[in-house]
């Protein structure tokens, strides 16, 4: 596999690879989110006819997946490497495989498979068709052609590649446990993030104040709706993101019944849809 790759090297290589393929290498967005797709530069740019090519690291918070740092490959806070290409090049799958080769994962030495896995984000009113990419049986990337965003059919479609950075690096570094990943010489993933993971788990599962979270949700939702009426879209979307994170916390805390869950999801979706609709209106996109 050549030179040893630290976590930061994996990111650097992916950035440089996708930069060479016409992507603007962006930065993470500063509000908690459950998936890189929620970054406004993906959510909004997927709408309308304008082309968009971007690659960026995005931290994800999924309180439900937290395991107190006990699980070797599941955590409530982790990193995705996101690539958006719109419209996607015809040979995008081939380019993707080349990006793996750039990381030293040579196709002839491994088993690389595209196994059907369709994707849906009810809070974003988004869906797509695609695959999970298996490297020697391990899921390392989600590969999706968006079909809908903000409740609207989109055209042209975008491709979204989501590399699971921890999975990929564990594999490359041949470690069994995410916490043993080498971030940079002499520094492990555990040293950087384990305390946060442990405390985050405790907070999400045991300590989060349910009433406060519910109240905040209501307030943020109200604020989003209020400013949307004023035609302010991106700040309203920020509040939708905050609502979405509060919902995830409530869910992890086990505070929501099935019907309540549906209800909360629908409330977030109605804000994100409205954001998408207004965005298209302001940018002058025709309704599809």
Partner 1 sequence: MTDDLLLEIGSDEIPARYLLSAIDDLRARAEKAFDDARLSCEEIVSYGTPRRLVLYARGLSAFSSDVTVKVRGPSKKVAYDSAGMPTKALMGFCRSLGIEPSDVSIEKENNGEYVYGLKHDPGRPVNVVLGQIIPDVVLGMNCPYPLRWGNENWKWFRPIRWVVCLYGKEIVPLVIAGIASGRTSFGQRTLHPEALDISSADSYFRLIADAGVIVDQNIRRQIIADGSKDLSREIGGRPLEDEDLLDEVVSLCEHPSPFRGEFASRYLELPEEVLITVMRHHQRYFPILTSFGKVLPGFIGVRDGSPDTGMENVKKGNEWVLRARLEDASFFYAQDVKVRLEDRLKDLSGVYFLGGAGTLYDKTMRLEELSGYLAEKAGLCKKEIEMVRAAARLSKCDLVTLMVRELPELEGIMGGHYARVQGIDEEISRAISQQYLPKGANGRLPDKGISSVLSISDKLDTLAVAFCLGVGVSGSQDPLGLRRAASGVVNIILSHGYDISLDDAIRKSVFLARDAARKAGKTEVDEEVVCDRLKQFLLSRIEVYLSDKGYPIEIIKSVLGSGEPRISRFPAMVEAVFSMLGSEELTDIVTGWRRTSVLGSKASGRDVSLELLVEEPEKALYAVVIEKKNDMERYFEEGNYRLYLQELSSLRAPIDNCLDNVLIMSEDERLRENRVKLLGVVSDMFTKFADFSYILPLLGKL
**Residues in contact with partner 1 by the rule CB under 8 A:** 70-74, 87, 90-91, 93-94, 97, 106-116, 118, 129, 131, 135-138, 145, 147, 153, 155-157, 171, 176, 254, 257-259, 262
Taking the complex as a whole, the smallest distance from the CB of residue 257 to partner 1 amounts, in Å, to: 5
- Please say which residue, 127 or 219, places its beta carbon nearer to partner 1: 127
- Please say which residue, 126 or 228, places its beta carbon nearer to partner 1: 126
- Please say which residue, 2 or 137, places its beta carbon nearer to partner 1: 137
Taking the complex as a whole, the smallest distance from the CB of residue 224 to partner 1 amounts, in Å, to: 26
For residue 287, is the peptide bond before it cis, meaning its omega torsion is within 30 degrees of 0? no
Rounded Cα distance between 133 and 116, Å, is 9
Taking the complex as a whole, the smallest distance from the CB of residue 70 to partner 1 amounts, in Å, to: 8
Task: Specify which residues 55 forms β-bridges with.
Answer: 25, 83
> Is residue 55 within 8 Å of 25, Cβ to Cβ?
yes
Taking the complex as a whole, the smallest distance from the CB of residue 258 to partner 1 amounts, in Å, to: 3
Taking the complex as a whole, the smallest distance from the CB of residue 146 to partner 1 amounts, in Å, to: 10
Helix intervals (H) in the chain: 7-20, 40-43, 92-102, 165-173, 189-202, 210-229, 234-252, 258-283
Taking the complex as a whole, the smallest distance from the CB of residue 225 to partner 1 amounts, in Å, to: 25
- Please say which residue, 109 or 180, places its beta carbon nearer to partner 1: 109
- Please say which residue, 75 or 224, places its beta carbon nearer to partner 1: 75
Nearest to 231 by CA among 286, 267, 275, 284: 275
For residue 87, is the peptide bond before it cis, meaning its omega torsion is within 30 degrees of 0? yes
- Please say which residue, 12 or 107, places its beta carbon nearer to partner 1: 107
CA angle 79, 81, 238 (to 5 degrees): 70
Task: Reduce the DSSP state of residue 158 to 3 states and report it.
Answer: coil
């Amino acid at each position: 596999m050549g030179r040893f790759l630290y976590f930061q090297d994996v990111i650097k290589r992916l950035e440089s690879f996708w930069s060479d393929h016409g992507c603007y290498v962006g930065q993470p967005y500063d509000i908690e989110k459950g998936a890189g797709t929620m970054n406004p530069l993906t959510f909004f740019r997927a709408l309308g006819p304008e082309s968009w090519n971007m690659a960026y690291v995005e931290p994800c918070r999924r309180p439900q997946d937290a395991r107190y740092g006990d699980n070797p490959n599941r955590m409530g806070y982790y990193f995705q490497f996101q690539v958006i290409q719109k419209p996607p090049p015809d040979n995008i799958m081939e380019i993707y495989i080349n990006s793996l080769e750039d990381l030293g994962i040579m196709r002839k030495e491994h088993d690389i498979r595209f196994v059907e896995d369709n994707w849906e984000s009810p809070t974003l009113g988004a869906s797509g068709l695609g695959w999970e990419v298996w490297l020697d049986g391990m899921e390392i990337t989600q590969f999706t052609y968006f079909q809908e965003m903000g409740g609207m059919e989109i055209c042209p479609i975008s491709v979204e590649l989501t590399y699971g950075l921890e999975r990929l690096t564990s594999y490359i570094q041949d470690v069994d446990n995410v916490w043993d990943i080498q971030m940079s010489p002499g520094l492990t993933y555990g040293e950087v993030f384990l305390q946060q993971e442990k405390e985050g788990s405790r907070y999400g599962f045991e300590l989060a104040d349910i009433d406060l979270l519910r109240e905040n949700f209501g307030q943020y939702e109200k604020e989003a709706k209020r400013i949307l009426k004023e035609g302010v879209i991106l700040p309203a979307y920020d509040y939708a993101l905050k609502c979405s994170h509060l919902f995830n916390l409530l869910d992890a805390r086990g505070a929501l019944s099935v019907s309540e869950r549906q209800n909360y999801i629908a409330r977030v979706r109605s804000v994100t849809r409205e954001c998408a609709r207004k965005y298209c209106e302001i940018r002058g996109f025709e309704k599809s």
